[in-house]
Copies of this chain bind each other. A is one copy, B any other.
């Protein structure tokens, strides 16, 4: 808890002076004022985060948190739990979706076993296992409060380590069969919306099993009865180690002045967790794509961040973050690569 508390204390407000300077320059670039829309908003945010007029976003990494979820015992997922271990190895070895999409953009992928059930054989995967998967939240708490904090702190540690290596921007990703169930449980509690309105097919669960999935999630909420005002209680009782780890990555980004690109549904839930721990974390986050998973819209609305990309994707792994990172990098380049009217010598037209 000490690392989490200390890290949260290190989060600063965005640098308003840098943002004002950035906006002033953007307003004077050789284009109609405001015509680069959200790209301009991104550039101003990046200046606020870094305190720099021309931040570089060239050293990019996605941190993928892999963990199992005990809730899978209840048959809420199309794929067996063993797929988490298989896919964690494949993400590590570079043959999965997020790696394919990261390659041309020069994005590194760091894979973390934060709670996979079974032994990960791929050597590049960081072994940071809190425990081999959470407990079945339909029968009791998914994990203890201490385990939830430990998982957040692992996220903080891994992200801080990457930032020390020179990463200028991070993205989040996850792998964990059953994690749309944990995400939906957290979202239902935080939003107050009915589980039925949020539950989706995840990795192709047949539609006729959706009502059962909803019933299991409802049961998990009822049995554990988490305190919606105590986000660590919610996270521990009906969350996942992957979600906790990604929340830690976001908190570390905020504490170190490094922007974090949020992937899809599960990542957005992690962002909600991080934001409840300190609302200023949100200022350091950039939403990437609109996940096609049913609850994603409600999650984005609750967080108050509007994703840029509409790709109807629902893979996870950080695949949406991989597509958005080059756009954020372009936003950072815009202001330094374009001239102002004054610099061209023609004055304002």
Contacts and interface: CB of A to CB of B under 8 A. Distances in A.
A11 interface: no
Contact of A315 (B32, B322, B337): B32
Contacts of A38: 310-313
A105 to B, nearest CB: 6
A82 B33 CA distance: 18
Interface in A317-349: 319, 322-323, 326-327, 329-330, 333-334, 336-339, 344, 346, 349
Interface in A284-327: 292, 306-315, 319, 322-323, 326-327
Contacts of A132: none
A5 interface: no
Nearest to A57: B104
A288 to B, nearest CB: 11
Contacts of A339: 90, 95
A101 B312 contact: no
Interface residues of A, number: 59
Nearest to A91: B30
B349 A292 contact: no
B97 A36 contact: yes
13 contacts: A31-B97, A33-B204, A35-B314, A37-B292, A37-B313, A38-B313, A39-B311, A90-B344, A95-B338, A97-B334, A100-B337, A100-B338, A101-B333
